[in-house]
């Protein structure tokens, strides 16, 4: 199992969505939200994900496809 800490910049479209619930139920990952903030225009979160490398890749590909910016920390 791998661990990756990232900063996510989350589009406003996800503001009222159960974003992290969706991630934890559709991907075999354990998200640990270290810090997060949402405004009326966007959100950001620092998250440590634990999962197999292949599942992290699948998750990050999904997030990028949805317009989430991902920066490794």
CATH code of the region 6-72:
3.30.70.260
Provide the residue-wise pLDDT of the chain in tens; the chain has 73 residues: 899 999 999 998 887 888 889 999 999 999 999 999 988 888 999 999 999 999 999 999 999 999 999 999 8
pLDDT of residue 22: 93
Q: Which two tokens stand for residue 29?
A: 């990952």
The domain spans of the chain are 6-72
Q: Distance between CA atoms of 67 and 51, rounded to whole angstroms?
A: 22
| CA dist 59 → 17, 32, 41, 47 (Å) | 17, 14, 23, 13
H or E stretch at 36: strand 30-38
| CA dist 29 → 39, 42, 51 (Å) | 26, 24, 5
């Amino acid at each position: 199992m791998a661990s990756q800490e990232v900063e996510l910049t989350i589009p406003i479209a996800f503001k009222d969505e159960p974003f992290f619930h969706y991630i934890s139920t559709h991907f075999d990952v354990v998200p640990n939200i270290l810090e997060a903030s949402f405004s009326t225009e966007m959100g950001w979160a620092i998250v440590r994900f634990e999962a197999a490398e292949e599942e992290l890749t699948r998750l990050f590909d999904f997030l990028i496809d949805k317009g989430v910016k991902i920066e490794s920390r």
